[in-house]
Chain A
Amino acid sequence: MSATLQPTGFGRAGETAMEDYVTMIVAGQTFGIPVLNVRDVLSPQIITRIPLAQAEIAGSLNLRGRIVTAINMRTRLGLPADGFVERAMAVVVEHDDEPFSLLVDEVGEVLSLPTRQKESVPATLDARWREVSQGIYRLEDRLLLVLSVTSVLGAIGVEPVHGM
């Protein structure tokens, strides 16, 4: 705002353009999702398993009368997920008018990070990880991977399938 009002401050404001992220931890790694994408954060829920569905789909849960599909983030990232679903936190996001919840180990604080500091993901990262990451932040004590909700859900047949 101030940037447009004060032309002299423009450069500085650009430097400090901030983006807020909800942080979450999956198997020790910190991830972040832009706060505007997050609808809800839920404590461990009763999740109904869906037979025959892909491994990444942990099941469905009831969020105040809406049926939400739960995605097991550990499986999605190719990590072992024994007994994970029962104690996982759920981060509810909306994708294409359909609610999904990402199951993660922990949900942390909301961090405000300057967009300028976002770096591209190292090319050496595992393909499954690279596919879902939009960028990386170097925090003081750890690294934060920015998750792309579209990419996370895109590969699970959430996108309409063309030309089957």
Chain B
Amino acid sequence: MDDLLKDFLAETCESLDVLDSEIVELEQRPGDPALLGSIFRVMHTIKGTCGFLGLPRLESVAHAAEDVLGRVRDGELAVSHGVISQVLAALDRIKELVGLLGETGSEPAGDDTEIIAALRQIASGEPAPSHSEPEDITERKAEKSGTLFERAGGASGIDAACELACSGFLAKAGEGAMREPEMLKLQFALAKGFEVALEKTPGMDIADVVGCLIENGWTSDDVMLLESEIAAAFRSLSIEEDDIAGLVSLLHRKQPAAKADVKKETQEKEDTKKLQPARETPPAASERHEAQGQTQTLRVNINVLEDLMTLVSELVLTRNQLLQIMRSHDETPFAAPLQRLNQVTTELQESVMMTRMQPIGNAWGKLPRLVRDLSQELGKKIDLVMTGADTELDRQILESIRDPLTHMVRNSADHGIETAGERLAAGKSEHGTIELTARHEGGHIVVVVSDDGRGLPTARIREKVIANGLATEAQLEGMSEQQIQQFIFRPGFSTAAAVTSVSGRGVGMDVVRNNIEKIGGIIEFQSTEGAGSRFIIKIPLTLAIVSALIVECEGERFALPQNSVVELVRINREASKGLEKINGRPVYRLRDRLLPLVSLGEILGLPDKEKTSPEDNEGPESMYVVVSQVGAFVFGIIVDKVFDTEEIVVKPVSRCMRHISCFSGTTILGDGRVIMILDPNGLASAVSAAPHAEASALGGQHEGGARRNEAVSMLVFEARDGSPKAVPLSLVARLEETDLAVAEKAGSRTVLQYRGGLMPLIDLEGKPADRQGRHPILVFVDGQRMLGLVVDRVVDIVEAPLDLHLAGGSRPGILGSAIIAGQATDIIDTVHYLRQSDADWFEVETESPFGAERERQVLLVEDSAFFRNLLIPMLTIAGYSVTVAEHAEAAISLCEDGGKFDFIVSDIEMPGLSGFELVRKLRADERLADVPIVALSSHANTKDIERGMEAGFTDYVTKLDPKALLNALSRTSVNEIRKEIAA
């Protein structure tokens, strides 16, 4: 592909992107001559260049579109929806052609007559004047009396306009944009510039002035504002509208000049009627480029920038090395030049980083078009407001947020904004607004995508969360609205079939979150029903050079990205205050929270020098805990030493080590040493995986058998001694938080008026609760009965496989301890408390006429210690005599040995023989053919129940519903007795 074509492609692609949003803008501001002029010019340039390069398809489409735009500009055609749509369609075709041209190097064959015909029809649709060929501004100007300079009011008129424009600009650009003396200078420069441009007198013309402004840090917004102010100023001086367009167009150097040339060249070409070899014209073109050589931007290949960045990184490293060396020499002649080198390097680094910076608007460019198309498609009225488009960030990051942003805006338009009718009915304005803002905030960029649509009702999210099994109702009960809203980022949230009208809302939000988190960002969602919703994204400015904390573990150094480090804690090993072990897992009491710890050495498999295990305090006398945060998960990393923080250049890990999730990169330190950069995400997953690994290790005794994963939701809370306690969430009906001062005394009990009844309140020791302070209360409900257990703090709700590792021993009210979320946690025995409060809680159902005649024998087949411990006391209290079998095989041999049972209660999922197989085996034995066998399962759906019944179970209950089990047992008793009577 020749250079000329490449240049054309690069330039055209850029202008097409701009055109997209400008045309949409035009629809909103149809009367804006500057905007119209700019659109027209771009289209004209494309047409001209295509003709020049011999691209007939592109040329003809652009030409037709230009015709339409020309007529709009001349005021012969009103900007209507149809016009804009048709122009956009033409634009799409041009884009498609340009895309193919870029791929193949030649214009693809095809037919555009349809689109051209449509454009022509639009162009001629209105009462049309005789000529259809659009005229150039400069040409038209000649037809009028006098030069543009004269018509603009001469030097005095221009002066006045510039003065007006400058004061207008000063007023609108806001404080700090420019001080008055500077503004005065600008005013003169502008006036002079106009004169130079129009009268061709020597000096800086107006475009140069604008160029200077840009060089001096003016943003394109500022320039645009100035432009519109100038247009307004001329208008107020009653200059004709198209003269204004002409004057304003002078501000842009490139287009008018290029247009004139191209126009001339195309004419020349047409004149000769023969294809003039394009080779003859490049000199003219390059001359033109040279003439414009003072332009302020330069197109640079991205690879060059990337290489430059790499080189600068290396320079930074070498500089760090030199500085390190210098520190160990007090008097050295190198000190001064090194200092200078240091400074220059820092500046160079910053400048190179700047070249990678791009305004976030680049990622937004396609959004106006997207919103327009969507609003048309959906029949909604949507405005897109974008502020802070010039906020700059690293291009690598820009690329990563482009898709998530598009996705969120699409979601807002699609699901957030209501139709005009709905909006009016809700008392809102007909037009919905999607707002996109970006701003700097201390080394981060904060991007907010908000809409004023219907919002996402938390109730709907709840429904969906429950429907998709992401959490139970009881879990949600304890969550704040804000917490519940974050569920939309959960992977499972979107997978379900469209249940509600909201369902589509969450589509792919988990992907969005992943993308944002991948670049170290955070995303949050807020929504108010009826008022709208907003996504808040916080992303770092750059990824290439980060600040990192250097830590040491077992003699090896590692870098830990500073942005995930929350704080550092030094622990004296001897006192080891606050450091505790729960079943070998270290935890640390940091102020009011329990911090799960992970030893870096252990995760990385570094050999422990001398120490046999980390709890032996024979290592160095102190150690450090780096408190880190990944998303909402806070954990501590145990390291031996902490050094200072260093700016490090992140380099990718070699391919052969990329599978190690603990490392995110590698770098060279100031002393020239290579060190690995730890990935807090990887470490965090190591922390949360650790207890799991342990559980499966403990379960290893059932080798071969599929280890069942009965994850149970546990409510973790603190009471009495501050150590974590937990209770299966499904046993808790509600969570309340009440000031206990309102509780009353009734006899020896503390009671609370609650939901029209009296609820006894007890503390963890089973005693009536103290009537003071504000406390969370776990409410257990059974029909009309209620019991409130007063605790100090609800910590969390955790989904964890339940394995009791320690029996409760003699401690009343404690079933035992289990590892939950990496901490040893006491599981409380709810039955104990219920009995404390109401001795007859569990006896209700058994006080049946047939209940007490003899003690009924129950065989409980259950492999989980937790459920055994939960069920045995309950069944015992209810008057059953319980025999326990830990697995199906044991149960069979118990029965074969002649054990007589009135009921058998069996778990379904067990290692070895399953409950189904067990019941089939038992039913095969004629002695046991009639024994009621109740299935226990953690999940019961109709299919399971059917299957269970088929296998021979009498009844089927959910594990975590002890009452249901008791009911089932009484029910079967009744049936038994009826059968007996019938017999």
Contact = CB atoms under 8 A, between A and B. Distances in A.
B711 to A, nearest CB: 26
Nearest to A100: B654
Contacts of B657: 50, 53, 57, 69
Interface in A78-128: 96, 98
A62 B674 contact: yes
B556 A51 contact: yes
A52 B682 CA distance: 13
A20 B152 CA distance: 80
Contact of B656 (A54, A61, A62): A54
B668 interface: yes
A49 to B, nearest CB: 6
Interface stretch (A11-19, A27-35, A153-161): A153-161
B606 interface: yes
B658 to A, nearest CB: 8
A46 interface: yes
A157 B659 contact: yes
A69 B668 CA distance: 13
B676 A62 contact: no
Interface in A18-58: 46, 48-54, 57
B662 A69 contact: no
Interface in B721-749: none
Contacts of A67: 651, 654, 666-668, 674
Q: Helix, strand, loop or mixed for chain B's interface?
A: mixed
Given A52-B662, A60-B666, A46 B655 contact: no
A53 B668 contact: no
A69 B654 CA distance: 7
Contacts of A48: 556, 673-676
Interface string A130-164: 00000000000000000000000100111011000
B314 interface: yes
B672 A98 contact: no
Which of A61, A67, A153 is most buried by chain B, counting CB atoms within 10 A of its CB? A67
B548 to A, nearest CB: 15
B663 to A, nearest CB: 8
A96 B604 CA distance: 28
B317 interface: yes
Contacts of B655: 96, 98, 157-158, 160
Contacts of B606: 51
A61 B318 CA distance: 15
B338 interface: no
Contacts of A156: 656
Nearest to A49: B556
Contacts of B314: 65
Contact of B673 (A46, A50, A65, A161): A46
A92 B362 CA distance: 42
Contact of A65 (B318, B605, B659): B318
A54 B673 CA distance: 21
A53 B656 contact: yes
A49 B659 CA distance: 16
B660 interface: yes
A91 to B, nearest CB: 17
Listed from nearest, the 7 A-B pairs whose CB atoms lie closest are A51-B604, A65-B314, A60-B674, A69-B654, A48-B674, A157-B656, A158-B656
Interface of B: 313-314, 317-318, 556, 604-606, 651, 654-657, 659-660, 662-663, 666-668, 672-676
Interface of A: 46, 48-54, 57, 59-62, 65, 67, 69, 96, 98, 153, 156-158, 160-161
6 contacts: A50-B660, A50-B663, A51-B662, A52-B662, A60-B666, A65-B318
